[in-house]
């Protein structure tokens, strides 16, 4: 499980390293959310684990040091989606806190 209090670059490296197995994941709304592709940015973002909007179908997660911009995710039992498509159907994702 991803620890959002870690630095963004470390989390992005874990996402790359854990593909395709054992996979990098977190929780959202009581469900497992796999993070399949992400990139790090060094920028102040707020409380670790809080999802922030990046504009035009993008979203990132605040970390202990920076932001992890989500690029491709998969909710439990669903298909792999680019973050823009996921955001279109995941009302309440931006502003929520990931586990």
Question: Tens digit of pLDDT for each residue in 9-45?
Answer: 999 999 999 998 999 999 999 999 999 999 999 887 7
Q: For 78-88, write each residue's pLDDT tens digit.
A: 999 999 999 99
Across 46-72, average pLDDT:
95
In order of their start, the domains of the chain are 8-87 (3.10.25.10)
CA–CA gap between residue 44 and residue 80 (Å, rounded): 29
- Residue count of the chain, please give it: 99
Helix-strand-coil split of the chain, %, nearest 5: 15, 40, 40
Q: Are 64 and 15 in contact (CB under 8 A)?
A: no
Angle in degrees, CA 37, 20, 41, rounded to 5: 25
């Amino acid at each position: 499980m991803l620890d959002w209090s870690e630095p963004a670059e470390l989390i992005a490296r874990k996402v790359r390293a854990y593909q395709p197995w054992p996979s990098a994941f977190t929780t959202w709304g009581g469900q497992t959310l796999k993070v399949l592709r992400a990139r790090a940015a060094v920028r102040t973002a707020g409380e670790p684990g809080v999802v922030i909007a990046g504009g035009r179908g993008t979203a990132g997660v605040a970390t202990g040091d920076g932001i992890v911009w989500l690029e491709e995710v998969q909710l439990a039992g669903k298909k792999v989606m680019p973050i823009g498509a996921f955001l279109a159907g995941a009302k309440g994702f931006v502003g929520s806190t990931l586990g």
